Amino acid sequence: MSSQPSERLIVALDVASYDAARGLVESLSPYAGWFKIGSVLFTREGPRVCEVVKRAGAKLFLDLKFHDIPNTVRGAVKNALAIGADMMTLHASGGTTMLGAARETVESSNRSDAILVAVTVLTHLSEAEWNATFGHKGMVEDTVVSLARMARSAGMNGVVASAKELPAIKRALGRECIVVTPGIRLPESGADDQTRVVTPGQAVRDGADFLVVGRPIIAALDPVAACREVVARMGA
């Protein structure tokens, strides 16, 4: 994995149209190595919006959080690879059989370098809401580490997890476990609808391998300047 901050920055294309996504990719691709396409943009524009990222020479993080029976996930992963996904997400709660099916699909393709990351606990969930929703009486961090350990055993390259839980994951699973960290905000930014957030510099110091940044860049008055600031703070 590259040590260059720009190659570890994933800009979230949390926009509603092909044209908006294309404009951001064209302006930001000199400064960010990755772009994330999630369910809102993908369900509106389909695979053609993924082509925008690939044409720019950037890498594609397809964040559709696959969570289904193993055979369905096999087909979804195969299709994701075909449209150029360099990284993709699956819900860790799908279990070892589902995650293993995804790994087998990647290994049997000509895209064995594709990165599979499991989603642990969504970053909008506070500890209180997590416990109330799932009937737990514990810390989110414990659940995240447990899911991360299971995901690694099933063949995932790593996990998506808040930087708040990042140190615990690295302690438990070591440096080889890739951690993709959303919920990144500049010091002057608000938390929006996420509760477990952190600054770029702190996330890198804690061991994050990739940082996902959306609104602080794409909603800025000058997205290019904001993107460059995030990269600078990652390397500080």
By annotation, the residues acting in catalysis are 65
**Residue 184 — φ and ψ, nearest 5°?**
-90, 130
Rounded-to-integer distance, Cα 135 and Cα 125, Å: 14
Instruction: For residue 184, give the H/E element and its range.
Output: none
Rounded-to-integer distance, Cα 38 and Cα 106, Å: 20
Contact (CB, 8 A) for 205 and 184: no
Token pair listed for 59: 């890498």
Token pair listed for 211: 């940082």
